[in-house]
Structure 1
Amino acid sequence: MNDPAGTDPLAITMSGVVLDSLDARVLADFYSRLLGWPIGDYDPGWSTVKNPSGGTQLSFQGEPSYQPPNWPTKPNSQQMMLHLDFNVDDLAVAHVHAVAVWRNPSTVATAVARSGLHRSSGTCVLSRKLSAWDRARTRLHGLT
């Protein structure tokens, strides 16, 4: 990509994804335990989990008036705008791990068959590792 004058290349890289939440620490705690990533910033207004490989990090912004999305979607209600997909080698093992690090396992009772998790302040979707062709044809979603 060039700058407006067209003289120097403009390097743009993505440093992170930011999710809104009632309390940023809640999501940072969960994703840190789920992914095994260390927590960077940590307060109710802004928390971050850092990718140890140096890639894209996850950040969470506390928003007191945050309204969680409904899934499945319902007319005239907050709609889901984003979810995170994670590839795993063994979906069953990853699901057990995700439920184990969840602070309120009763909220995921209905998710067992769908291999996903629902959280009022964020989302987590696990899918088995697929070939590029399978990913193009099939997407396994859990509750978001």
Structure 2
Amino acid sequence: MSVARYRSVVLDCPDPRSLAEFYAAVGGGTPQVEDDDWVVLEVPDGPRLAFQRAEGLAPPEWPRSDRNSQQFHIDFDAGSTWEEIDAAHEKVLALGARPLDLEDREKKDFQVYADPAGHPFCLCRIERS
């Protein structure tokens, strides 16, 4: 038996509303603004994400393991073909994402980006059976 039920993943960021809007555009859902410091996004068929104001946030540095490492990242299923991944790539760039690692995608089946606040996330190619 579990101790508690999953509630949400919370991302610290300088602007909760804009980061929630970014992830809503990527994964769906509508941001629910509770106040200037806290915004919640219920992702359809996905996790509940919350965004908390953190002034002076030092974003993670990818791929570091010594200090200021990524700590965690979010994976998105962006389709089963590279054409779908390429289309998703263009869309996340237009939304303000920054590429971190686009190398060897055929071997890894994912590409790594930073969201507008600097948190890493991946667009993953998921083969369908």
- Alignment CA distance shift 1:43-1:33 (3 Å): farther
Q: Is the 8 A contact 2:17 2:31 kept in 1?
A: no
Q: Is the 8 A contact 1:15 1:57 kept in 2?
A: yes
- Alignment CA distance shift 1:100-1:111 (3 Å): farther
Q: 1:123 aligns with which of 115, 120, 123?
A: 120
Aligned mates of 1:24, 1:16 — CA distance in 2: 15
Query: Quick one: higher RCO (CA 8 Å, sep 6+), 1 or 2?
Result: 2
Alignment of 1:45-64 (within 5 A): 45-53=37-45, 55-64=46-55
**Counterpart in the other structure of 2:76:** 86
Report whether the alignment pairs 1:22 with 2:19: no
CA RMSD of aligned residues (A): 2.7
Q: Is the 8 A contact 2:85 2:124 kept in 1?
A: yes
Q: CA deviation at 1:111?
A: 5.0
TM-score relative to the length of structure 1: 0.66
Unaligned 5+ segments in structure 2 are 106-110
**Counterpart in the other structure of 1:32:** 24
Aligned length: 118
Q: CA deviation at 1:112?
A: 5.3
Unaligned 5+ segments in structure 1 are 3-9, 133-144
